[in-house]
Amino acid sequence: MMGKVTILLLLCLGAGLYFPRSREIILDYAQPLLDPILGWQSNQELARFAEDLDIAQESRGTLPDGRGEFDPWMNKRYRREPSRFDGWGSRYTFRIQGDSFFVSSPGQDGVPQTPDDLIEGRALTARARRR
């Protein structure tokens, strides 16, 4: 019986987090409990995006060139809007720096380039570097 109640509560919480209005209210009250989960979820998505970008650069030799191309790439590849935002509601970002590319989330505070940012980086292939 206790297992069924727990599952029901988790399903209700998941449904509440899916909708933006209720998500905001739930996050205010449950923030300390949810931050590790949201961080884990965002890290998983960053790893998936980096892997997909890695595949794109290997197969086509190109990567999006900054925000102007990254947002359309995300919109085309991940049609569900929640996939384009981290667990805290901020858009994921992309940059090429040196011989690497990085996909990142501004993290819990929503402010880029602070210690809580989540970042996934990969090396550029030789084809992508020549672009």
CA 5/CA 12 separation, integer angstroms: 11
15 occurs within a structural domain = no
Q: Percent of the chain scored above 90 by pLDDT? A: 40
Residue 90 lies in a domain: yes
Give tens-digit pLDDT for 75-123.
Answer: 888 887 667 899 889 999 999 999 999 999 999 999 999 999 999 999 9
d(CA 71, CA 92): 9
CA distance 36 to 17: 15
> With contact defined as beta carbons under 8 Å apart, do 94 and 117 qualify?
no
Q: Kindly report the backbone phi and psi dihedral angles of residue 114, in degrees, each rounded to the nearest multiple of 5, phi listed first.
A: -125, 165
Residue 103 covered by a domain = yes
Structure tokens at 92: 């994921």
In a domain, 41, yes or no: yes
Instruction: State which residues form the domain around 77.
Output: 33-130
Higher-confidence position of 33 and 97? 97
* Total domain count, the chain: 1
In-domain check, residue 14:
no
